[in-house]
Amino acid sequence: MRILAIATIIVLATFAAQAQNAAAPVPAAPTLPTIVFVNSDSLLNNYAYFKAVKIKLQTLTQKAQDEITVKGQAFQKKVSNYQKTANALTPAQKAATEKKLATEQQTLQELQQNTGKQLQEIEAAENTTLYEKIATFLKGYTKEKGYKIVLTYSKSSPSMLYGDDSLDITKDVVTGLNDEYTKSGGK
């Protein structure tokens, strides 16, 4: 019986040792951060698509300003000519000319307002496209890298006060976005 008791103790001790070994924690692999950030100032300054859109908007704005300036100068010449010849005109001619000039002035003001509105709409559409391009890229990028949240940092609008440089993925994101932009033929 004594041998049976010793054998039982040995079997129990073996099971206990195996249970401890199975429950011993395995050293964990280093975990990657799940929250990272992108410096939006650097992103926009280095993203080729944004640079192209910025140039496009500046060109459209300059053309619109030039058109309005030319039309405004032509209108000013008409006003100046009217003022020089107003004394020689009959009251009916003055009234007709003033009415015509008032209509032209209103048309010029409407052109300015409509042009400004159109430029704002174009800029809003381009900003939406820019956001969609970045968000689409980040969706795939974060899935590939295992990130769960991507924050933005900007000096001009700091919603995030500090982020360790090891969490800054701006350079990788800019490279990836520019690669996609180049592959799409600049679209």
The reported pTM is 0.71
For 140, the domain range is 2-183
Could you say which DSSP state residue 165 is in? G
Q: What is the distance between the alpha carbons of residues 122 and 54, in angstroms, rounded to a whole number?
A: 11
CATH of the domain at 32: 3.30.910.20
- Domains held by the chain: number: 1
Mark out the alpha helices in the chain (DSSP H runs).
2-23, 40-46, 48-85, 91-145, 170-183
Q: What is the pLDDT of residue 112?
A: 94
The pLDDT of residue 14 is: 43
Q: Which mean pLDDT values do the consecutive 10-residue runs of the chain (187 residues) have?
A: 37 41 52 87 94 95 95 93 89 92 94 95 96 95 93 86 89 94 86
Give me the pLDDT at residue 13, please: 37
Position 163 scores a pLDDT of 86
